[in-house]
Copies of this chain bind each other. A is one copy, B any other.
Amino acid sequence: MNAIAADDQDAAPEHPGEPCMPDEELLYDLADLFKVFSDTTRIKILYALFDTPRSVGDIAETIGATQSAVSHQLRILKQARLVRFDRDGRSLIYSLADDHVHTMLAQGMNHICE
């Protein structure tokens, strides 16, 4: 579910002060987005795909997790539109959905290593 509040535009952003308080639903979506990044397995998957598209089995081997666990987490990453996949024979080749994901990861890492 990726519902975006369509009927709520708060004040104009663009200052050291953002709008006061975004719509409740938007805040839920924001929390949900961060939640996807908040698990180690999913972070590992994202980093495994950082610059290399991989099959599910490849991911599992790379990060040292079972195929099932990876598949479960890929479902969540897919729902959040953080990864996408193409078919190659019987394999599904996953990759990061767009550069936004790179940015989010880099931003977080940047904060950690300040």
Contact = CB atoms under 8 A, between A and B. Distances in A.
Interface of A: 1-2, 4, 12-18, 20-22, 26-35, 37-40, 42-44, 47-48, 50-52, 62-63, 100, 102-114
A51 B113 CA distance: 25
B30 A34 contact: no
Contacts of A44: 21, 27
Nearest to A100: B111
Nearest to A109: B30
Contacts of A37: 30-31, 34, 38
Contact of A30 (B18, B51, B112): B112
A22 to B, nearest CB: 7
Contacts of A30: 37, 43, 105, 108-109, 112
A48 B29 contact: no
Nearest to A32: B38
A62 B26 CA distance: 17
A50 B17 contact: yes
Given A18-B109, A20-B47, A34-B34, 9 more contacts: A17-B102, A20-B51, A21-B63, A22-B109, A30-B37, A30-B112, A31-B42, A33-B108, A33-B111
